[in-house]
Structure 1
Amino acid sequence: MKKVAVIHTTPVTIPTLKKLLTDNRRPDEEEIEVINFLDDSMLPEINRLGHPSEGVKYRLNTLLLLCQTTGADAVLCACSSIGGLVEEGSSLVGIPVFRIDEPMARLAAGYSRIGVAATLHSTIMPTTELIRRKAAMAGKEISIQSTVIENVGNLLAENKGDLYDKMVGEQLRLLLEENEVVVLAQASMARAVERWPEEEKSRCLTSPVSGVEAVRDYLHKKEG
């Protein structure tokens, strides 16, 4: 059995990522045990200050070290807002550390006109920077239109999922009118397009599936 430690900044992502990591196992794939670490103080602090504090960096680095103590084969960071900090802190541990949004950003960089949507201001910059970096590595010129969807952040915690999906979905469709694809900068936003027609849904790039697949592919190659 393989073991994956997942770092969360909101409890919303815990059930989704556990299901993706453990369900639909291929016949030649080992079972995966998921260990979750949650610190829901990071995002409020980042959004309040406008940047990650030294305290956030310290807590994240501590979580990375805790992940290694579990005997995990890999670490997955479920939050795009701290993706850059995770890359910096990954040198502290001797196991691979994955950003959930890295495969999504690589795919997005293959397009020329890209929309990026988030419900938190703290997520926009790390996501757009990652996409621009991927495009630069590929020698590709891109344009990015970013939008922060205001006043929806608490709806999921208040069990108002239908209203969240409606409000987020409306803004995503506006971005789709002007861009080839739209990047959903937070893993928790993927639920807003789950019931969309496939033609529309396929133009919205989400991080949970591609991020988890990158981890599972690594573990499978490691088995071989």
Structure 2
Amino acid sequence: MNEPRIGIIHTSPATVDLFGRLLREALPSVRVVNLLDDSILPELAANGGDLSTVVPRWSDYARIARERDVDLILNACSSVGEVGAMVEPTVGIPIVRVDTEMAREAVRRGSRIAVVATLATTLRPTSDLLVETAEGLDHAVTIERVLVDGAYEALMRGDQAGHDDKILAALSHAAETSDAVVLAQASMARVVPRLPAEARGKVLASPPFAVKEVLSRLSLRPQA
């Protein structure tokens, strides 16, 4: 495969540049096709996380990506992580869930896992994935769900600093009592470098793990 083509379906502008950079660092020859719908997360927040309302158009985005001749689709949003498996049989190309490999690593780290999110709708799918992964690996885990109150609202007001400070405090506290701290949203990873080294080592963000999974599914190795 000389020029792999990866389609990425985003629900936040924050992940567009992030995944483009990580994929190009691993595969300089990669071609990335981005599709963004930033109305999905507000809709899920309003309807209590009812995925049935967004599945039809997410399926359309996957079809559009396939028509652009991509080799694989990356579902970049954990809030709709389950949707990929629903539509993959009809799309006909692999769909990688952004947090699958991260969940495996979290379960390998230990039995006490904290899941940190700014949106309630991301806590359930991420926690459920961790439980399913642990069962598949025959590991017993305890999941602590941490919703960072006010962080999402701060972001919507344009207060990026306030958003980041709230996440930083939540991650610092979670790291004290957990073997692994899972970020339920890839966009939260920007805060991790501000943590002390010991805490930083416990925090898992999905983007680098997702890129690893993409390469594995395409039977590729990082290019020099």
Q: How many correspondences in the alignment?
A: 219
Gap runs ≥5 in structure 2? none
1:193 and 1:82 mapped to 2: Cα distance?
23
* Cα shift readout 1:189-213 (whole Å, capped 9, x = no counterpart): 1011123333221100110111112
Paired letter, 2:63? L
1:23 and 1:160 mapped to 2: Cα distance?
30
* Cα shift readout 1:139-184 (whole Å, capped 9, x = no counterpart): 1111000011121115446553333221101011111122111100
Report the counterpart of residue 85 of structure 2 in structure 1. 87
Report the counterpart of residue 127 of structure 2 in structure 1. 128
Matches within 5 A, 1:49-128: 49-110=47-108, 111-128=110-127
Q: Secondary structure at the match of 2:96?
A: strand
Matches within 5 A, 1:1-224: 1-25=3-27, 31-110=29-108, 111-156=110-155, 159-221=158-220
1:70 and 1:150 mapped to 2: Cα distance?
40
2:185 and 2:42 mapped to 1: Cα distance?
15
Paired letter, 1:69? E
Cα drift, residue 87 of structure 1: 1.3
1:47 and 1:163 mapped to 2: Cα distance?
20
Paired letter, 2:81? G
Cα drift, residue 41 of structure 1: 1.4
Paired letter, 2:78? S
Cα drift, residue 22 of structure 1: 0.7
Q: Go from structure 1 to structure 2 and tell me whether the alpha carbon gap of 1:201 and 1:65 turns closer, same or farther (over 3 Å shift).
A: same
**Which deviates more, 64-73 or 47-56?**
47-56
Cα drift, residue 107 of structure 1: 1.0
- Asked whether the equivalents of residues 21 and 216 of structure 1 are also in contact (C-alpha less than 8 Å), the reply is no
1:219 and 1:198 mapped to 2: Cα distance?
33
Q: Go from structure 1 to structure 2 and tell me whether the alpha carbon gap of 1:20 and 1:154 turns closer, same or farther (over 3 Å shift).
A: farther
- Asked whether the equivalents of residues 6 and 73 of structure 2 are also in contact (C-alpha less than 8 Å), the reply is yes
Greater helix content: 2
Q: Secondary structure at the match of 1:140?
A: coil
Q: Go from structure 1 to structure 2 and tell me whether the alpha carbon gap of 1:131 and 1:56 turns closer, same or farther (over 3 Å shift).
A: same
1:116 and 1:199 mapped to 2: Cα distance?
18
- Asked whether the equivalents of residues 117 and 184 of structure 2 are also in contact (C-alpha less than 8 Å), the reply is yes
1:119 and 1:194 mapped to 2: Cα distance?
18
Indicate the RMSD between aligned Cα atoms, in angstroms: 1.8
2:57 and 2:118 mapped to 1: Cα distance?
23
